[in-house]
Every structure is written in structure tokens, then in C-alpha cells.
Structure 1
Amino acid sequence: MNLGQWIGLIAIVLCLYILWQIRQVLLLMFAAVVLATTLNRLAKRFQSSGLKRGFAVFLSVTIFFAGVVCFFWLIVPPFAQQFQELTYRVPQGFARFNSWLQQLETLVPQQLAPYIPNLNDLIAQAQPFVNEILGSSFAFVSGSLEVLLKILLVLVLTGMFLADPQAYRRLFIRLFPSFYRPRIDGILDKCELSLEGWITGTFITTIVVGLLSVIGLSVLGVKAALALGVLAGFLNLIPNLGPTLSVVPAIAIALLDSPWKALIVLLLYLVIQQIDANFVTPTVMAHQLSLLPAVTLISQLFFVTFFGFLGLFLALPLTVVAKIWLQEVLIKDVLDEWGNSHRQETELVIISQSPMSDIDWSVDNKTSEPEHPIDEPLPQEE
């Protein structure tokens, strides 16, 4: 490679290193973009009703903060009280489950006893993985000042993006060549529509799962039903992993009453997840986020490994945006068009080398051309 190529390679490596060092800031910027996109779409709906832009934005922000205040005022105090109850009831439930397994070992034949799992061994084996996954989450929530600063940064960036979104959009589009800028504008429209679908669908499914969980657990008489229901709705933000994690504390508390109640609680959660997966999610999201389950799970593991606790919750919108860019830019504009130019050149060469190309297509016939060409004026009659 020549000197210019070496300089370009070094510049690319330095840019990747800088982006890696500021990955947490970039993730917070993406969270602000998602929130600003949602509020901007809501403001556009108000504008379509005849409201001015400033008042529409103010109304959207007011609705958002009113929802946050109502959540912390109505839900958080009883949830915090019942969550403290969970902290000592869940370990009791695990201890009851372990003693139940030990009693089961005495009832089964000796040949099958080694195959019955021991809860303490399972916890010990899963401890390194759990520590790796949740270590960053504890670090994220441990420092209250750091959390407040991150939330404040997201809100400030959201306000800036929401004040004049078109200016930031034009600035981003200008980073691409002029011939490709209309294409980038269309891709951004698709990303905006998909993020709106994710926000709307996530909000509705979270409310539905939380309410169904609270109602079902209350009917079954499970203690701390409100805390378990809010926890189930909150963990539903994490596809695949969230529903599995939410059922564990509910089963542990139900085991304090009887194993049959724990089994009924497990069936309740399975029914709720089936309702959400087969009826609620396809209806509210309208298949806008059609992702393969394996792709969703791999993306969650990837983003939680490299971005920590916040990356786990933003894994799905990040995957949706990445899917749109890969599908539109890499697949449609690069891979699908890879052989088109070569194919067109080949067809031209074949046509030029065909024997039919040597035929003189000009016919010496008066009827082949008009008597008076359109470029010449007609003769004037005397």
C-alpha cells in the first residue's frame, strides 16, 4: 500500500477506537433520538389536527411528563413497599423449592436420583453468567448521581432534537454524497416509522402484561401481586429473556403456599405470554418489527455484553434500525445491484457482436420517410 492508503487505514482505526471509547455516550444519544422521534411523531399528529408546531410540541412533552409523574406517584410507592417484601419472600421460596426437591429424591428410585437437579448447584453454576450479565446493571443503578446525570443528558438532548429535528436530519444527510442523499432521507423515514411502531407496541404490551399479571396473581392470592405485576410488565421490555426472568420470583413466592399454586402461577404466565405474543403484539405492531427470534436473542447478548444494562433494554430498537440500514443499503443498494452493471455490459456486447447488427436497416423507399420532414416547413400553395 502507498502512503495515502496507510493514512486512510490509520484514520479508520482511530475513528473506530474513539467510537468504542464513547460507546456509552452514543447509546445515550440513541436513547434521546428514540424519545425525540416518538414525541415528534406525536407532535405531528397534533399538527395534523390544526395546531401550531410550538403548541403541538409543548402538548406532547406535557403528556410525556404527566405520564411519568403519574407512574411515580401512583405505582412506585406501593411497588417499593411490596418489593421489600419480595426481597425476603423470594429466598424463602427458593429454600422451600430446594427442600421439596430433596424430598423428591427419597421417593424416586436410586437410579434416577442423580438426575434430579439440586437448586444450590444450579445457582452456583449460573452465578458467573448472572454476574456478567447483571454486573453492569448494578453499576448503572448504584450511583444515583451518575444515573441522574445520564437521565438529565438524555432529556436535554431530547429537547434539543425536538426543537428543530429537521436541522439535525439535514446535517446527518449531508454526511453522504449528493447523489445518495434522497435515498438516505427515505431510509430515515423508515427508521422513524419503525421506532414509532416499537414505542407504541412496547407501551401497549407492557400495560397489558402488567395488568393481566396483577389481576391473575390477585385472584390466585399470591402475595405482593402488584410488585410482581409491575415487574412482569417492566421485564417484558426485554424480549425472550424478560418473560422468563419475571416468572421466577412469582413461582418462588407461590411455593411458600403450595407446589400446586406455583404450577398454576407458571400456567398463568404462559397464558399471558401467549396472549401477548399471538394477539396483542401482532395487532399493535402490525408486523413492523418482524425479526427472527434467534436474531433478537443474539442481538440482546451482543448489546448487553458491549453496552451493559442499558444496551439490554435498547437492544430491540438498535436491532430494528440496524436491520433497516443493512437491508436498504447493503442488500438492496450494494448486493442486489452487484452484477447488474456487469450484466448490462454483457448484454450490450452480445447485441453488438450479433450477426443482425451487420444488417443495413435503412430502406431506400419513399414510403419509409415522410415526403416533408417535420423539421422543414411545408411549401406554400400559390
Structure 2
Amino acid sequence: MDQQHQEHTADLPQTQRRLARRVTMVNGIAVLFIAGAAAVVLAANALLLVFACILCAILLYKLSEILARRFHMRRKLALAMVVGALALVIGLGGWAMAPQIAEQSSRLAQEIPAAVERLQTAVQQHPLLKRIASELPPPEQIVKQMGDMVPNAGLFFGGVLGAIGNVVIILFVGIYFATSPQLYTSGLIRLVPQSRRPRAREVQQELGHTLANWLLGKAASMLIVGVVTSIGLSMLGVPLALILGIIAGLLDFIPYLGPIMAGIPAVLLALSISPELALYTVLLFVGIQLVEGYVLQPLIEARAVDLPPALVIVMQLVFGTLFGFAGVALATPLAAALAVLVKMLYIEDVLGDRPAQKPKPG
């Protein structure tokens, strides 16, 4: 009896030490979580800018990797060729179309208020629509709110100068990241315990693979949507087709909400000419989105990650509320990255629900 009592007494310090370690671990996790949440809130714009730089680096790395594999050259040489080709295309395209883009942008800023006024005048003729329109703000306020979205689109600085600064930062930091990605990924992996580093490398590679495929597919989709929209609007006779097509292509980066934002000015301009033209413009945008949704989007998701539409829209609303327009723009790649992390770190590692290994052919 005394021996059992002594053994029980000896086990008490060990049990207390184990409990103390668990309490310390829980408290440490809580402190890290609070510190991380505070960092996200206080440095949200900077973190979004860093994520945009990472996306740019992933896209440049993937393009250079494809070029290097196809023509059997060094990847850094391929990266220099990719950057040079992109700079040449953007420079020549901007030089050739800059006067037309500047003119159409100025005209668009003048035409939208007039189109809103004409729409409100036409609405006044219908009792039900008149009642709805009476609750809407005046055209000047609507145009001001649309204009306020441009500075808010900046990730770090504000206004037009800030938008240009963001682009320069994203491009240069993206190029540095893409030149020596192992330098940065290895440093992050070294923060993980040695026993978990192989798994950390698997997660990092899957993240890069998923985001790279999504970016390649989305870039192709944006180009197609922009070109088809410009051609379609020109054929319909909608004014300012070039700048409207550029806007549609850029906003196509934002699934679901982007096409709606791009279609509003086009429909307003078409409505200022005739209701029939506005109807044809709506049908054009709907047709483009149907083709993208049933043809282009499945191809992107087949090579990247399948994100349910409801999840994407919820993420856009959440990130838009927290971080503004930049959060809406980056919500989809953020959702794709979070989906990979949840799948690999929680479903597979914590729950143990790993996909069955396919049998090797004999």
C-alpha cells in the first residue's frame, strides 16, 4: 500500500509538468493567433501587396519554366526573355494605343454622367420605376462613388500615382522572387521543425502549382474576354469599344462580380443611344460569360482547384468588407490558396483522410 502511494506521489510532478506544457502550448498558440490577427488588421494593405507580388512571381516563374523546358535553355535566361517579351508587348501596345485609350477614357468620364441622367429621365415615365429611382442618389453622387473606386483599388498607396507605384512594386518584386525562388521558400521552410519539412515542401509545391495553373488560365481568359468584348461592342456600334473592352478584360480577373462591374458602363452608353442597343449589349455580355463559365472556367478549374461559386462570392464579400476593392480582386487566388492549405494540412494531416493511392501498372 505504501509502495503504491509512493508511486502515485512520484507520478504527480510528471503529470503536473505535462499539464503545464499543454497549458503553455495552448497559451502560446493563442498569443500567436492574436498577434497574427493584429498583424493582418494593421498591415492588411502591405500583406495584400506582398501576395500580389507572389502571384506575379509565380506567373513569371511558370512562363519561364515552360519556355526553358520547351527550348532546353537555362531558366534564368528564359525568365529574362519572358520579361523582355512582356515589356516589349506592353510598351509597343501602350505606345500604339495610348492616344486612343486616353481619348476614350476622357470621353467615358464625360458620357457616363449624361447616360445616368438620360436613364433617370426615362425611368420617370414609369410609376414603379419612378418610385425606385426616387430612392437612388443623384447622378453626380453615383459618378463620384464610381470614381472613388479607383483610389481604393490601390493596395498600398492611393490615387493614380499610387496605382502606378503598386504596379511597379509588384513587377520588380515579382521579378526578384521569380529569379531565385528557392532563396525565399527555403528560408520559410527552415522555420518548420525538421520532421515536418518534407511535408512543408509538398504543401509549398502544391500551392505554387495550383496558383500557377490558375493564373495562366485566368490570363488567357482575360485576354479572350477583352478582345471579344471590344470586337463585339464595335460590331454593335457601341461607342468607346476599345476602352470598354480593356476594362472588361481587366475586371475579368474578378470572377462573377467583375463582369457585372464591366458591363454597367457599356450598357449605360448603349442605353443612351437606344433601348434595343442596350438589350443587345446585355446579351453580348451574357453570352461571353456563358462561354467563359462553361468552356474557359472548367478548363482552369481542371488544372487548378475547383472552387464552388458560392464560396468565391462569399470570399469576395468578406475580403471586400475587410480590405476594400483590393480584397475583392485577390479573393479568388486567396480562396484557392486556403483551399489547398485546408485540404493538405487539416483534411489529410489532421483528419487522416488522404486520397487512395492509385495502383502502379504492372
Q: What is the TM-score of this pair, normalised by structure 2?
A: 0.80
Q: What count of residue pairs does the alignment treat as equivalent?
A: 328
Q: Distance in 2 between matches of 1:144 and 1:246?
A: 19
Confirm or deny that 1:208 pairs with 2:224: yes
Large movers: runs of 4+ above 6 Å: none
Q: Distance in 1 between matches of 2:104 and 2:165?
A: 28
Indicate if the aligned counterparts of 1:206 and 1:233 stay in contact, CA closer than 8 A. yes
Indicate if the aligned counterparts of 2:154 and 2:163 stay in contact, CA closer than 8 A. no
Q: Distance in 2 between matches of 1:255 and 1:262?
A: 5
Greater shift after overlay, 149-158 or 135-144? 135-144
Q: Give the aligned partner of residue 149 of structure 2.
A: 134
Residue-by-residue CA offset, 1:102-160 (whole Å, 9 max, x unaligned): 2233xxxxxxx4x7653352347x97xx68x9386167674444444433433332233
Q: Distance in 1 between matches of 2:184 and 2:100?
A: 42
Confirm or deny that 1:172 pairs with 2:188: yes
Q: Give the aligned partner of residue 157 of structure 1.
A: 173
SS at match of 2:255: coil
Q: Distance in 2 between matches of 1:334 and 1:138?
A: 38
User: Where does 1:156-305 land on structure 2 (aligned, <5 Å)?
Assistant: 156-286=172-302, 288-305=304-321
Confirm or deny that 1:118 pairs with 2:132: yes
Indicate if the aligned counterparts of 1:92 and 1:252 stay in contact, CA closer than 8 A. no
Confirm or deny that 1:39 pairs with 2:44: no
Q: Give the aligned partner of residue 30 of structure 1.
A: 51
Q: Distance in 2 between matches of 1:270 and 1:149?
A: 34
Q: 1:14 aligns with which of 12, 25, 35?
A: 35
Indicate if the aligned counterparts of 1:91 and 1:252 stay in contact, CA closer than 8 A. no
Q: Distance in 2 between matches of 1:88 and 1:120?
A: 23
- How far the C-alpha of 1:232 sits from its partner, in A, is 1.4
Q: Distance in 1 between matches of 2:244 and 2:304?
A: 30
- How far the C-alpha of 1:239 sits from its partner, in A, is 1.0
What one-letter code is carried by the residue in structure 2 that aligns with 1:80?
A
Q: Give the aligned partner of residue 352 of structure 2.
A: 336
Q: Distance in 2 between matches of 1:120 and 1:205?
A: 39
Indicate if the aligned counterparts of 1:101 and 1:118 stay in contact, CA closer than 8 A. no
- How far the C-alpha of 1:243 sits from its partner, in A, is 1.0
In the alignment, structure 1 segments of 5+ residues that lack a partner are 106-112, 339-382
Indicate if the aligned counterparts of 1:214 and 1:225 stay in contact, CA closer than 8 A. yes
Indicate if the aligned counterparts of 1:34 and 1:195 stay in contact, CA closer than 8 A. yes
Q: Distance in 2 between matches of 1:170 and 1:226?
A: 44
Confirm or deny that 1:96 pairs with 2:111: no
Q: What is the TM-score of this pair, normalised by structure 1?
A: 0.76
Aligned CA RMSD, in angstroms, stands at 3.0
In the alignment, structure 2 segments of 5+ residues that lack a partner are 1-18, 355-362
Q: Distance in 1 between matches of 2:31 and 2:208?
A: 34
What one-letter code is carried by the residue in structure 2 that aligns with 1:29?
V
SS at match of 2:192: coil
Q: 1:24 to 1:274 in 2, by over 3 A?
A: same
Q: 1:12 to 1:293 in 2, by over 3 A?
A: closer
Q: Distance in 2 between matches of 1:139 and 1:191?
A: 25
Q: Give the aligned partner of residue 13 of structure 2.
A: none
SS at match of 2:124: helix
Residue-by-residue CA offset, 1:148-191 (whole Å, 9 max, x unaligned): 44334333322332232112111111222222221221222221
Q: Once the two structures are aligned, what percentage of the paired residues are identical?
A: 29
Q: Give the aligned partner of residue 82 of structure 1.
A: 104
Q: Distance in 2 between matches of 1:159 and 1:71?
A: 21
Structure (1 or 2) with the larger CA radius of gyration: 1
SS at match of 2:187: helix
Q: 1:56 to 1:182 in 2, by over 3 A?
A: same
- How far the C-alpha of 1:295 sits from its partner, in A, is 0.7
Q: Distance in 1 between matches of 2:154 and 2:335?
A: 24
Confirm or deny that 1:57 pairs with 2:79: yes
Indicate if the aligned counterparts of 2:64 and 2:78 stay in contact, CA closer than 8 A. yes
What one-letter code is carried by the residue in structure 2 that aligns with 1:286?
A
Indicate if the aligned counterparts of 1:98 and 1:119 stay in contact, CA closer than 8 A. yes
- How far the C-alpha of 1:337 sits from its partner, in A, is 5.9
Residue-by-residue CA offset, 1:298-323 (whole Å, 9 max, x unaligned): 11122222223322221111111111
Q: 1:284 to 1:335 in 2, by over 3 A?
A: closer
Q: 1:214 to 1:47 in 2, by over 3 A?
A: closer
Q: Distance in 2 between matches of 1:135 and 1:210?
A: 19
Indicate if the aligned counterparts of 1:98 and 1:118 stay in contact, CA closer than 8 A. no
Q: Distance in 2 between matches of 1:181 and 1:278?
A: 39
